[in-house]
Amino acid sequence: MNEVERIHETCRYVEEHSDETLSLEMLAKKAKMSKYHFARRFKEVVGVTPKQYAAEMRLRRLKGALKEKRSVDDALYGAGYGSPSRVYEKAVRSLGMTPAQYRSAGQGISISYATVETPVGLMMIGATDRGICFAQFGDSTAELLGRLGAEYANATIVPAQEPYHSDFPKWVDAISRYLAGAQPHLDLPLDIRASAFQMRVWKYLQSIPYGDVASYGEVAAAIGRPSAARAVGGAIARNTVALIIPCHRVIRESGALGGYRWGFERKRALLDLERSHRGDRKERPRVTPKIQG
């Protein structure tokens, strides 16, 4: 068995024992490598450190238990978490909500939404008090509201009411400036659920320069998973916040635009818009969206 095969075997061991304390020394011994060589080769092959992989597998076990409607405490301890306070801190970052809220598909979460008319069509923005959790294009408010409800089945979803949350007009203005070419980078607070792999892909997408594109393979290589182009495509397809996570900047290896969950023509329009303003950073008239609660 070569090194890569031994590392894959170690991954399977981690998946089966993610509820246990797994030290680097112990995993290296199982892989029959020195500790430092194992750590280096593991990251080269898997794309994350052994510690990160073990944490992702433990989180996956927790998610599975929560979806089975087991009690939060049973799910936490069954997944191998020892300190509830630390779990809640990590869960808010990894799940986008507390374990109890994740278990109940957003129950107890309040989401305000509004629709915005933009040059590339109708957009709905949904937000919790932590940040934007939904930003998608569609043909009608009813269609978009249906998607928002499917994503957060048990959340309380209400139209944004005037006076709006103090940050809401700022978020709309930022999107307006982006669509006008005056703000190439959207740095807005997000409150989204994602696996560790999805988050790595999405964070990389946010680093692709305005007006540029990258292929699925280039994204995979950039995050240390050169053989995971298909998985990268899957992560991109699950993005729920258009523009802020600019998945429209990822194209096929051939140079063809490829798919886009909000429509091929919209993807082309967004890329054309960015390219037309690339290198031109002068202040320009804003496209003032009409906000509808």
Residue 82 burial class via C-beta count within 10 angstroms: exposed 0-12, middle 13-18, buried 19 and up? exposed
Q: How many CA atoms lie within 13 A of 25 on its CB side?
A: 0
Question: Which pLDDT score is estimated for 285?
Answer: 38
Return the number of other C-beta atoms located less than 10 Å from residue 257's C-beta: 16
Return the percentage of the chain with pLDDT > 70, whole number. 76
- The CA distance from 134 to 123, in Å, is 10
Domains 3-103 and 106-293 in one fold: yes
If you search the block for the tokens 């495509």, which residue do you land on?
Answer: 233
Kindly indicate the confidence band of residue 48, based on its pLDDT and cuts at 50, 70 and 90.
confident
Q: What backbone torsions phi and psi does residue 172 show, to the nearest 5 degrees?
A: -65, -40
What pLDDT is stored for residue 287 in this prediction?
A: 38
Using the structure block, give the residue that is written with the tokens 């500790």.
Answer: 35
* In the predicted structure, residue 31 carries a pLDDT above the cut 50: yes
User: Which of 131-135, 183-187, 280-284 is least confident?
Assistant: 280-284
At 200, the pLDDT band (50, 70, 90 cuts) reads: confident
Q: What is the pLDDT of residue 101?
A: 56
Tell me the whole-structure pTM to 2 decimals: 0.62
Task: Find out whether 219 and 207 touch, Cβ atoms under 8 Å.
Answer: no
In this prediction, residue 268 has a pLDDT band, given cuts at 50, 70 and 90, of very high
CATH number of 106-293: 1.10.10.10
What CATH class does 3-103 carry?
mainly alpha
pLDDT higher than 60, residue 85: no
Enumerate residues 6+ apart whose C-beta is below 8 A from 42: 7, 10, 27, 31, 49, 50, 53
Given a cut of 80, whether residue 181 has pLDDT beyond it is no
Q: Which two tokens stand for residue 190?
A: 């997000």
Residue-level pLDDT at 104: 52
Provide the residue count of the chain: 293
Q: Report the sign of the C-alpha dihedral through residues 20, 26, 27, 30, in that order.
A: negative
How many of the other CB atoms lie within 10 Å of CB of 237?
Answer: 11
pLDDT of residue 71: 54
Contact present, 11 and 46 (Cβ < 8 Å) = yes
Residue 266 has pLDDT above 90, yes or no: yes
Q: Give the active site residues.
A: 247
Q: Which of residues 289 and 139 earns the better pLDDT score?
A: 139
CB 160 within 8 A of CB 111: no
Domain boundaries, the chain: 3-103, 106-293
> Does residue 47 or residue 243 have the better pLDDT?
243
Name, in order, each residue with C-beta under 8 angstroms of 236's C-beta and a sequence gap of 6 or more: 201, 205, 216, 219, 247, 250
- Least confident window among 51-55, 133-137, 232-236: 51-55
pLDDT (0 to 100) of residue 163? 61
pLDDT of residue 290: 44
Provide mean pLDDT across the span 136-162: 88
Could you tell me which of 51, 46, 9, 55 has the C-alpha nearest to residue 224? 46
